[in-house]
Structure 1
Amino acid sequence: MEKQRIGSDIPPVHAAGLDPAYIPGLVPSGSEVADEADDTALEQGSEATPTDAVPSEEAVVPNAQEDPADEEDDGPVFEVSDRRGAIVADRAGITFRLDEEVAEFGWDEIGAVEIDTPRFGRRFGVTVYMSGRRWFQADVEAPSRGVLKEWAAELDTVLDARFEETEA
């Protein structure tokens, strides 16, 4: 006699509706949470401020040295928006905004990027493909059809610069 399973053969999958942390970019990263915790600790401890909490000049000097390096690494930046949404590609990665929702994707987690300029219409679409067969899409309405080609060329320049940097 052959054994038969009762129930589904498909393993359970975590859904984004149940776990928002499943979608990268929707939940702040650990460093942002740590920064917020430090800020709250400083606000609560402001009544008795120890001398150790006051930043010294030595701590300020390294930050001043790092800023010019960050400015040199900026490279090309792409930013378009309409009344509801925005698409930004900069040195940190690609950011999609729709109303108050923000999704951020770092260059290290992006597998591919697709630009969609329709034959008819004024919607400029960008699709970010992640590893593990996941993809996310955002659309922005252009003021005119002529702007679509300019936006595609600008985003292509940013993508060329970023993906060449990661390959090198």
Structure 2
Amino acid sequence: MEQRIGASSKPSGAEPLKAEPVTGAGFDPAFIPGITTPAPTKSDEPEPEDAEPSAESAEPADAKAPEETPEADETTEDDGPDDGPVFEAADRRARIVADRKGVRLRLDEESCEFRWDEIAAVETESPRFGKRYTITVHTPDRRWYPIEIEAAARARFTEWDEQLDAVLDAYFEDAG
């Protein structure tokens, strides 16, 4: 017996619908929305049907000259001297950097970057006891990304609050 799940709006005799591959944490335990992307599948890159191999693809990979140097990747047209305030805090596992480009979070080998126009709010929390300073980046689509930095001493919390406030005052514009 054949069962169909869901409604089908195709006329009979038409080509069957192709199923999209299912991605996400249910199929890839390392998938974290906003931080990692799903692993590419073969169907993500369509192959041209009538393409002939070009002279470029016939050359070995090491014979090609690099198009861009690493220095060219780091600087763009609007990059000038980084005169403004910069906030940086790190411990043995976690790191946060907030500067004129945005906010970058890193935990172990995972990292993510937010431009200032992608951020709805930045929240800090100092614990009553302990030395873990929490910074949470909120996005407009109601997602949040917390990171905890372990301080050497509780006195660092006020110093970090002042530095982060200076960066937020300089670069973050609240649209509300």
Fold equivalence (TM over 0.5): yes
Counterpart in the other structure of 2:124: 115
Structure 1, residues 84-117: CA drift from partner, whole Å, max 9, x if none?
1111112221111111111212211110010111
Secondary structure of the corresponding residue to residue 153 of structure 1: helix
* Structure 1 position 121, deviation (Å): 1.4
Amino acid at match of 1:91: R
State whether structure 2 residue 135 is matched by structure 1 residue 126: yes
How many residues of Structure 1 are paired with residues of Structure 2 in the alignment?
129
Gap regions ≥5 residues in structure 1: 1-13, 28-40, 56-62
Could you tell me the TM-score, scaled by structure 2's length?
0.59
Out of 149, 161, 165, the residue aligned to residue 140 of structure 1 is 149
Gap regions ≥5 residues in structure 2: 1-21, 38-56
* RMSD, aligned CA: 3.5
* Structure 1 position 67, deviation (Å): 6.7
CA contact (8 A) 2:35 2:110 kept: no
Q: Percent identity?
A: 45
Counterpart in the other structure of 2:112: 103
CA contact (8 A) 1:79 1:87 kept: yes
Counterpart in the other structure of 1:70: 79
Moved over 2 A (4+): 18-27, 43-47, 66-69, 71-74
- C-alpha distance in structure 2 between counterparts of 1:138 and 1:54, whole Å: 36
More helix per residue:
1
- C-alpha distance in structure 2 between counterparts of 1:163 and 1:81, whole Å: 21
Counterpart in the other structure of 1:26: 36
Counterpart in the other structure of 2:25: 17
Secondary structure of the corresponding residue to residue 24 of structure 1: coil
Amino acid at match of 1:86: R
CA contact (8 A) 1:86 1:96 kept: yes
Counterpart in the other structure of 2:15: none
- C-alpha distance in structure 2 between counterparts of 1:138 and 1:15, whole Å: 25
Name which one, 1 or 2, has greater alpha-carbon Rg: 2
- C-alpha distance in structure 1 between counterparts of 2:85 and 2:165, whole Å: 10
Could you tell me the TM-score, scaled by structure 1's length?
0.61
